[in-house]
Structure 1
């Protein structure tokens, strides 16, 4: 696995086969790729990763790599198309596994076993392989075979029930908490932990990541409170201290928008109260929404514009910040300074594609989120097979049989169709 997507970062030389699609797996392998790993997307001989066909599109780019959503998750990777339902296609995967460090997949539990290329078979080819499976509910348990999406996982682990205002409906987050936080990030940690252990033992292992489990772990402090409350009082949305239950830690409407007040520590709340000339509110810091004090704080915030509150925050250290719309955040001084928006050259595009950068900042061996473009579907099939030891005639025979496929010709389908 050599070529444009080979990295020079801290994970340079790490070889990853990514059989996943859509969001959780590709976000995990994106982090690895940005940090220098050689990530090869193993896609089917039809549509490949479904997100390839999701708008908005980048004009001028090969059709199977035009989706901005696809590019956001799949830069710095390569692509090969393999039919794992065929014996010859499975043999291709087995040969690739022999020289790989990690295999990442996000099928329902048991799918690869039924195809004959599950973990037990793969480790016969490579005992050092780290095999990571991301699923909704884990590789065992009563829900292992159920389909689901982010909202389902959050609904089952209690997180969604706790999000929103008291007395109001549950509120869906704008980011996919279970997919990314519970799945992709936990998978990346699990993979790196297994690789670290492999340095001692020389053996790989299976990493079982449940998105429901992973997102539940985000409730570590809240769950500890619920599990250890002698009274057993149930926790409800809008009443938790850090999600709406305290007037000192809430978003507030101002004259022309919204601001966020995070004055949790007494010194910050005192600074805010003194700054607005309301020292009488200091002792009422931990009252909740609906109280007279809360109504007073709402009235105070509503009397000034967002810009005026920004000026106030600059003069009074009280954890007060504007609530930015997404377009404002992406163009903010903070995001620019932290290099959290990067420009990626994509062959055929008139202008660079702008995507989010890498949030992991290393001082000596930094990652590179703009090292290589997102791959066309099957664009690296021939090169990968040649590197794996297949001759030109063997590659041609594999293509003829349908076990593998080269670059896609034209639109393959629609993500939502």
Structure 2
């Protein structure tokens, strides 16, 4: 079993929705104590937005919330009650990190801005991750995954030739760029604190973070001034480079030929010796001039084959190919993911046995063992009594007053 490497680190976690909770989940999976500050009267939107296990709605039944909050502790408090701020301050005094992903000014309005927190915990590490960062002419604009995909250029380059922009199909910034950049910044800040005893404020712009993951299109523009055109699955540098319909009703296989040797191997595999012998197609530059002809030939071959069979036959010949997998395929049919134990099952009090995605790496051949996500307010009493030392009678009184929920 992978040890709890981050045991002893405590977060007062005010993040919600997607990117923020994913950032702090990466720490809870490795043993950090993440106290998720919640409100029953204003719950995390992904708690109430689903998708819900078995289609049954419930505050503790959201698969999205569960996947982004494994191993955390839920502390439910009414932030509108005047007494709540001092209780949060007490938790923060016992914490190493305060994290949030609200827009600029939101934490200040709650009396929980960086200067407020630093005054009572000078060595605090404070993570703020609004859309545009905390300063600048656009800092106050609201941001969610879709709008961040738009303003960073991700949407602009995604789509088909002659058609308008298309989103990436998911809130990509929430699931990749932003949480991992935030986690890296937090690890750097924790290392700095260990070395110097000093805390830091991390001002992470989710727009800047996503642009960092945009890759070739931004780099090409920086180097040449050329704006990449939308071209669907085609590449400006290689051909064939697309997805092809296979024998099933909605089965597809991706094929990407990057070298001349792969081109010859492809032609042999799909039974097209005339293409292999055509000197005009011997190089990538030549193949790019006859993309439609090449795609038609590949498509004729894949049309009579199962997508997985096509992938394996091409791979055996040294041609990069991959089945276009849907979610059920990944969870049920992908033998590689099953072999590596990528899907972990957790027994949840309300959802029952539920599968979760594990961190995408092994440590000495072992997976991190995920811990289940919390029920709303599940750990409120425990945190008050064991972390803050409150007597049970005081906890009961706070609940009666509506301070804790």
Normalising by structure 1, what TM-score? 0.86
Name 2:179's counterpart in structure 1: 184
Name 1:283's counterpart in structure 2: 282
* Structure-to-structure mapping, 1:301-380, within 5 angstroms: 301-304=299-302, 305=305, 306-331=307-332, 332-349=334-351, 351-363=352-364, 366-369=367-370, 371=371, 373-380=372-379
2:168 is aligned with 1:167 = no
Name 2:266's counterpart in structure 1: 272
Name 1:415's counterpart in structure 2: none
Name 1:408's counterpart in structure 2: none
Higher relative contact order (CA 8 A, sep 6+): 1
DSSP-derived class of the 1:64 partner:
coil
Aligned mate of 2:226, from 233, 257, 264: 233
Name 2:213's counterpart in structure 1: 218
Aligned mate of 2:97, from 102, 111, 118: 102
Contact 1:284-1:293 within 8 A present in 2 as well = no
DSSP-derived class of the 1:173 partner:
coil
Residue by residue over 1:138-172, the C-alpha shift from the partner in whole angstroms, topping out at 9 and shown as x without a partner, is: 11112211112222112112121011222122121
Give, in whole Å, the separation in 1 of the partners of 2:56 and 2:164.
Answer: 42
Question: How much is the aligned-residue C-alpha RMSD, in angstroms?
Answer: 2.6
Q: CA deviation at 1:220?
A: 4.0
Q: CA deviation at 1:288?
A: 7.1
Change (3 A) 1:336 1:307: closer
Give, in whole Å, the separation in 1 of the partners of 2:125 and 2:365.
Answer: 26
Change (3 A) 1:360 1:196: farther
Q: CA deviation at 1:64?
A: 2.7
* Structure-to-structure mapping, 1:107-126, within 5 angstroms: 107-126=102-121
Aligned mate of 2:125, from 130, 133, 143: 130
Q: CA deviation at 1:364?
A: 7.6
Unaligned runs of 5+ in 1: 1-6, 406-417
Give, in whole Å, the separation in 2 of the partners of 1:251 and 1:152.
Answer: 28
Name 1:74's counterpart in structure 2: 69
Name 1:32's counterpart in structure 2: 27
Contact 1:182-1:212 within 8 A present in 2 as well = no
DSSP-derived class of the 2:282 partner:
helix
Change (3 A) 1:112 1:55: closer
Give, in whole Å, the separation in 1 of the partners of 2:359 and 2:396.
Answer: 39
Give, in whole Å, the separation in 2 of the partners of 1:288 and 1:114.
Answer: 60
Residue by residue over 1:92-141, the C-alpha shift from the partner in whole angstroms, topping out at 9 and shown as x without a partner, is: 11111111111111111111112212111112222222111121111111
Aligned mate of 2:239, from 231, 240, 247: 247
Unaligned runs of 5+ in 2: none
Name 2:199's counterpart in structure 1: 204
Normalising by structure 2, what TM-score? 0.88
Name 2:298's counterpart in structure 1: 300
- Count the aligned residue pairs: 392
Name 1:12's counterpart in structure 2: 7
